[in-house]
Structure 1
């Protein structure tokens, strides 16, 4: 799709995953391409391609995050800043979670925090925003895993029990066995030390 068409789609719905991903890819590509590949003096970009791509993506996400219903751009800003500014990332994730009643923003934010080795922060964010019966079951899964990673196994079992009350019982059942295995493995590690 053309960049202008993607921007128009995101103006209407700043959380459109396909449009955001497509525009993000275009922005990254533009940021890493040399201005004039024929000119040997400009063939090498001044910045590292990854840094330039992240900066371009940051600008795009920041532009879209101003929309009062935008949560996907805030999650992206949080992902980009979690290494350098963990507190700022958590603030962005919090705002994204408050803007998204479905829980997709919260689940994604929890996963990013877990991947950044911040399970305690993930627990704080999740416990404060998880609405068990209203949001996607993935939020509960991420909370259980964060509790396991933080060695809070009693809390992990509590989150698993709460997840069992979710109306999407089929989805919960599909993830439950792996969560039980993760909790039991962590309990075995704890008891062996």
Structure 2
């Protein structure tokens, strides 16, 4: 069963989906594990975009969900070991939804989009767009474009980048991702245009590091086009 229908089933069976991601002590919990989880949650309350803390806490809730599948999850009795992965994804989904309620949070939205991209790509892109709007540095946009490119969706990645990239304010890495998305979408003219837009960035040192690689990529695309 796909993640989104599964999530809806789970939400109907629980009073709140967020309880999947919250800490639920068991007899086997060790004090050190509890303190570690509480510390991670405290870090995320302070900064919901702490990527390392989010990923570490995700592993905690994933492990708990997988380990409790055959004991605590009422859906688990119907399924085999493959359900452990789905249960783990649902736990991370609940954690992401919990943290995404913070108006400063953009990384939890990135993870929600990652989990929903296959089942509901339109909703995933809306989450990525919201994440980009919440982050003034452009880091969220880098994560979003990279995700779409890796998922084989360069046109969507390019559209998201063009709609949100602010060359004068964002990290130049956004520009690199936009250019690569344009090349993968066979938009050579757009790639050249976005290369020029990199000059608007005040971080000239970062642009200087990026420019040789993207120029090489554009040149290779031009050679490929000329050879066809």
Contact 1:33–1:45, Cα closer than 8 Å, also in 2: no
Structure 2 partner of 1:48: 83
Give the 3-state SS of the residue equivalent to 2:90 in structure 1. Answer: helix
For residues 95 and 129 of structure 2, what CA distance do their matches in structure 1 show? 20
CA offsets per residue over residues 16-62 of structure 1, 9 Å max, x none?
1222121112112222225689xxxx9x9654333222221111111
Structure 1 partner of 2:59: 25
Contact 2:69–2:87, Cα closer than 8 Å, also in 1: no
Contact 2:188–2:218, Cα closer than 8 Å, also in 1: yes
For residues 88 and 55 of structure 2, what CA distance do their matches in structure 1 show? 13
Provide closer, same or farther for how the CA distance between residues 55 and 132 of structure 1 changes in structure 2, counting only shifts above 3 A: same
Aligned pairs for 1:131-150 (under 5 A) are: 131-150=166-185
Unaligned runs of 5+ in 2: 1-34, 72-76
Q: List, as ranges, runs of 4+ consecutive aligned residues in structure 1 with deviation greater than 3 Å.
A: 34-37, 44-49
For residues 112 and 227 of structure 2, what CA distance do their matches in structure 1 show? 40
Structure 2 partner of 1:97: 132
For residues 180 and 101 of structure 1, what CA distance do their matches in structure 2 show? 26
CA offsets per residue over residues 85-119 of structure 1, 9 Å max, x none?
11111100000000000110011100001111111
For residues 3 and 33 of structure 1, what CA distance do their matches in structure 2 show? 16
Contact 2:69–2:84, Cα closer than 8 Å, also in 1: no
Contact 2:40–2:56, Cα closer than 8 Å, also in 1: yes
TM-score using structure 2 length: 0.77
Q: Does 1:165 align with 2:200?
A: yes
Unaligned runs of 5+ in 1: none
CA offsets per residue over residues 137-182 of structure 1, 9 Å max, x none?
1110000000000000110011111112211111111121111111
For residues 127 and 14 of structure 1, what CA distance do their matches in structure 2 show? 26
TM-score using structure 1 length: 0.90
For residues 82 and 225 of structure 2, what CA distance do their matches in structure 1 show? 46
Q: Does 1:185 align with 2:220?
A: yes
